[in-house]
Amino acid sequence: DGAEPPRQITAVSGAGVVHSSLSPDGTRVECVSREAGHSDLWVQNVDGSNLRQITNDDPAESWPVWSPDGRLIAFNSLRDGRRETWRVAADGGLPEKMLDGFFRGDWVPRPDGRGEWIVTSLGGPVESGVRLLDVESRSVLWERRLPGTALSLPVFSPDKRSISLAGLVAGALILLHGG
């Protein structure tokens, strides 16, 4: 309700925190920090305890988002000049590539209960738009080019049947709706 004043919950010292994401149960936060010298993923409890570095590699990681069950984290990774979508266990481990292409979006269970979807922006002025991914098959279900949406963060509606994203064309809010 906004009655409590904002409070810092991250425990990463020094180099700042960007691109945070709360776990589905609201008990943990995932963020990106350059604390270790390069852009890596960190996770901790929202009370500031149990800070853990999840990735520790040279590629720049960004835009983490939790899986619906809170076990995995998807993120964008810049590797050899290519943007790729990766995932890692929320408790750490070896990251694994999910597929080619930029990631900044949302991860939900499918409304029919048969798997999970990820929605992501395409990630650049030349590639403005949105893409829907099937997590289990690691495939692109569809892609829409939408000028002016390069910097958007697409998210699913609560019923998972619509996707909203902001557009820079006349300050538009775009809503994609499926059956």
CA 18 vs CA 21, 28, 31, 116, 167: distances in Å:
10, 15, 6, 26, 22
| Global pTM value | 0.86
Q: How far apart are the two ends of the chain, measured CA to CA in Å?
A: 33
Q: What pLDDT tens digit does each residue of the chain (179 aa) get?
A: 778 877 666 666 655 778 889 999 999 999 888 877 788 999 999 888 898 999 988 888 999 999 999 999 999 998 888 889 999 999 999 999 999 888 999 999 999 999 999 999 987 656 788 999 999 999 999 998 888 887 788 999 998 988 988 876 655 566 666 54
pLDDT score recorded for residue 176? 65
> How far is 134 from 132, CA to CA, in rounded Å?
7
Q: Can you count the helices (H) and strands (E) in the chain? A: 0, 15
Positive or negative: CA dihedral 85, 158, 91, 37: positive
Q: Is 104 left (phi over 0), alpha (psi -120 to 50) or beta?
A: beta
- Tens digits of residue pLDDT in 32-75: 888 777 889 999 998 888 989 999 888 889 999 999 999 999 99
